[in-house]
């Protein structure tokens, strides 16, 4: 009996342990939960500088970075089944679902590999992972030799820091901003921020679009904001002067662009009218084109499908985040107004010089967003080249640009840029757009 009891006891213990160990790591991929990722925008080799002289690229800077070009963001791993998972990239209120993920094995290195693919934006993260860490590269295919070192660690839920230094002021509100200060490329912006203690969200609007959902922190007199969405990597740092409610700072987009900015608190700050920047040249009263879709078919405004209808022409690129926001808006608008005589045509200006690669990007984009309208390859993403392709316009200043054409094929409105859902302007834009389209349709009905 003692032996039987002992065996029974061992079997119970063994069973409990088996259950315990199987529950410890039941997943075949990345551990579930929050991960902290960092894109290393700048390689910082140690250069000898015995005299302590200013390095050439650091002379006359008003603001010196402290992050050394490290752009952080968070993502969460979520499992559908023990064998199937996806990730959500977190930028403030935004969640970007990524489910094109492959796990493999590099036999030569005896390491597990991971490929996180962003097919819509033609980029991917590839690296090695071991237990709770990933080390690799973020690669953008449609940019030549473009890759940025990437690291991620599981279980870290802070973006920039877990410090809680008391902010010198609450920066919530609108800030009149200038980028590229003192250069020929100087441009204006409006910063919109919401601060809750140390936590900070917001965006910068410009005349060509906004910098989408930014998230970060305020620590004493410094602020930090970042965004990663699979195609753009934005990093902002700023120094706050509470005496006169001003800021100075630096802005990085990826690892190739860096500039300075300054801002002043101004609740009434605004940009130039988006309807005044792009217009038809003198001598033109119509907008016309003929471009190919991915099936090789030429499409023109003269086609029977567009006769006696309001047309919305979208100048865009599959690589462009603001274009993505505008595309989602237009797809949703058409879905909500199926009985309106309204058609949309998207003219894509792509980074790929190779036509087949560009057309491949268009196919992927159209399928992903379920676009029930034509997406045509119009040319290069270079704005000067795009302006030559559309000679009736004074210039192509921004992607996206929206051109609204009435039932008589006359241009009624041109809207440059797009203030997306990360901005306070988005709700007002939607209302004005809907009202304007309704007016055009009503005018036609009265004339008939």
Residues 6+ apart with CB under 8 A from 70: 38, 39, 40, 41
Please tell me whether residues 322 and 356 are part of one structural domain: yes
- For residue 163, is it within any domain? no
Of the residues 123, 154, 185, the one at which a domain ends: 154
Please provide residue 159's backbone torsions phi and psi, each rounded to the nearest 5 degrees: -85, -65
- For residue 384, is it within any domain? yes
Please provide residue 437's backbone torsions phi and psi, each rounded to the nearest 5 degrees: -65, -40
Tell me how far apart the alpha carbons of residues 317 and 291 are, in angstroms, rounded to a whole number.
15
Tell me how far apart the alpha carbons of residues 172 and 200 are, in angstroms, rounded to a whole number.
9
Of the residues 120, 154, 188, the one at which a domain ends: 154
Q: Which residues pair with 215 in a beta bridge?
A: 201, 226
Please compute the mean of the pLDDT values over residues 274-279 and round it to a whole number. Answer: 96
Predicted confidence at residue 16, as pLDDT, reads 41
Please tell me whether residues 226 and 371 are part of one structural domain: no
Tell me how far apart the alpha carbons of residues 168 and 150 are, in angstroms, rounded to a whole number.
33
Please tell me whether residues 208 and 144 are part of one structural domain: no
Q: What is the average pLDDT value for the chain, to the nearest integer?
A: 89
Please tell me whether residues 299 and 440 are part of one structural domain: yes
CB 150 within 8 A of CB 70: no
Tell me how far apart the alpha carbons of residues 28 and 212 are, in angstroms, rounded to a whole number.
34
- For residue 167, is it within any domain? no
- For residue 6, is it within any domain? no
Please tell me whether residues 433 and 345 are part of one structural domain: yes
Please tell me whether residues 356 and 438 are part of one structural domain: yes
- For residue 231, is it within any domain? yes
Beta strands at 94-98 and 84-91: parallel, antiparallel or unpaired: antiparallel
Judged against a pLDDT cut of 70, whether residue 154 lies above it is answered with yes
Q: Give the CA angle between residues 423, 427, 428 to the nearest 5°.
A: 105
Please tell me whether residues 305 and 332 are part of one structural domain: yes
Predicted confidence at residue 65, as pLDDT, reads 63
CATH number of the domain enclosing 341: 3.40.30.10
Tell me how far apart the alpha carbons of residues 322 and 96 are, in angstroms, rounded to a whole number.
15
Domain range for residue 203? 173-265
Q: How many domains are contained in the chain?
A: 3
Judged against a pLDDT cut of 60, whether residue 321 lies above it is answered with yes
Predicted confidence at residue 106, as pLDDT, reads 85
Dihedral angle over CA of 234, 369, 289, 409, nearest 10: -110
Three-state DSSP state, 107: coil
Dihedral angle over CA of 37, 43, 45, 47, nearest 10: -140
Three-state DSSP state, 366: helix
Judged against a pLDDT cut of 60, whether residue 49 lies above it is answered with no
Enter the tokens of residue 27: 């997943």
Please compute the mean of the pLDDT values over residues 143-153 and round it to a whole number. Answer: 96
Please tell me whether residues 313 and 437 are part of one structural domain: yes
Please tell me whether residues 72 and 134 are part of one structural domain: yes
- For residue 16, is it within any domain? no
- Identify the H or E element spanning 7: helix 2-24
Please compute the mean of the pLDDT values over residues 17-24 and round it to a whole number. Answer: 39
CATH number of the domain enclosing 258: 2.40.128.120
Please tell me whether residues 148 and 99 are part of one structural domain: yes
Please tell me whether residues 220 and 332 are part of one structural domain: no
Please tell me whether residues 301 and 246 are part of one structural domain: no
CATH number of the domain enclosing 111: 2.40.128
Cα–Cα distances in Å, from 91 out to 72, 75, 99, 151, 300? 10, 9, 17, 18, 39
Predicted confidence at residue 397, as pLDDT, reads 97
Q: Which residues pair with 71 in a beta bridge?
A: 39
Predicted confidence at residue 285, as pLDDT, reads 83
């Amino acid at each position: 009996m003692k032996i039987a009891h002992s065996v029974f006891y061992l079997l119970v213990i063994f069973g409990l342990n088996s259950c315990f160990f199987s529950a410890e790591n039941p997943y075949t991929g990345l551990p579930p939960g929050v991960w902290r990722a960092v894109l290393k925008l700048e390689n910082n080799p140690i250069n000898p500088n015995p005299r302590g002289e200013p390095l050439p690229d650091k002379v006359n800077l008003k603001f010196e970075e402290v992050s050394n070009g490290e752009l952080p963001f968070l993502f969460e791993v979520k499992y559908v089944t023990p064998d199937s998972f996806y990730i959500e990239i977190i930028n403030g209120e935004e969640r970007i679902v990524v489910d094109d993920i492959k796990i493999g094995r590099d036999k030569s290195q005896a390491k597990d590999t991971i490929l996180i693919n962003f097919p819509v934006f033609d980029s991917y993260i590839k690296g090695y992972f071991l237990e709770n860490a990933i080390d690799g590269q973020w690669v953008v295919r449609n940019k030549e030799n473009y890759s940025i070192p990437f690291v991620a660690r599981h279980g870290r839920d802070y973006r920039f820091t877990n410090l809680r230094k008391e902010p010198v002021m609450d920066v919530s509100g609108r800030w009149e901003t200038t980028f590229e200060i003192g250069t020929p490329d100087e441009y204006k912006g409006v910063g919109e921020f919401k601060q809750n203690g140390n936590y900070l969200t917001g965006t910068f609007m410009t005349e060509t679009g906004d910098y989408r959902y930014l998230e970060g922190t305020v620590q004493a007199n410094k602020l930090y904001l970042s965004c990663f969405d699979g195609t753009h990597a934005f990093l902002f740092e700023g120094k706050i002067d509470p005496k006169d409610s001003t800021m100075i700072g630096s802005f990085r987009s990826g690892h190739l662009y860096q500039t300075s900015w300054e801002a002043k608190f101004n609740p009434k700050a605004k940009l130039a009218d988006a309807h005044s920047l792009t217009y038809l040249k003198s001598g033109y009263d119509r907008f016309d084109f003929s471009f190919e879709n991915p099936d090789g078919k030429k499409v023109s405004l003269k086609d029977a499908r567009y006769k006696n209808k309001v047309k919305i022409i979208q100048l865009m690129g599959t690589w462009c985040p603001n274009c993505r926001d505008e595309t989602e808006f237009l797809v949703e608008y058409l879905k909500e107004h199926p009985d309106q005589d309204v058609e949309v045509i998207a003219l894509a200006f792509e980074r790929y010089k190779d036509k087949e690669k560009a057309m491949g990007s268009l196919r992927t984009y159209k399928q992903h967003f379920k676009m029930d309208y034509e997406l045509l390859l119009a040319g290069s993403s270079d704005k000067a080249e795009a302006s030559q392709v559309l000679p009736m316009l004074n210039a192509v200043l921004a992607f996206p640009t929206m051109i609204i054409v009435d039932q008589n094929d006359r241009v009624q409105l041109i809207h440059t840029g797009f203030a997306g859902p990360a901005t306070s302007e988005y709700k007002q834009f939607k209302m004005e757009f809907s009202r304007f389209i309704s007016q055009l349709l009503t005018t036609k009905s009265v004339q008939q």
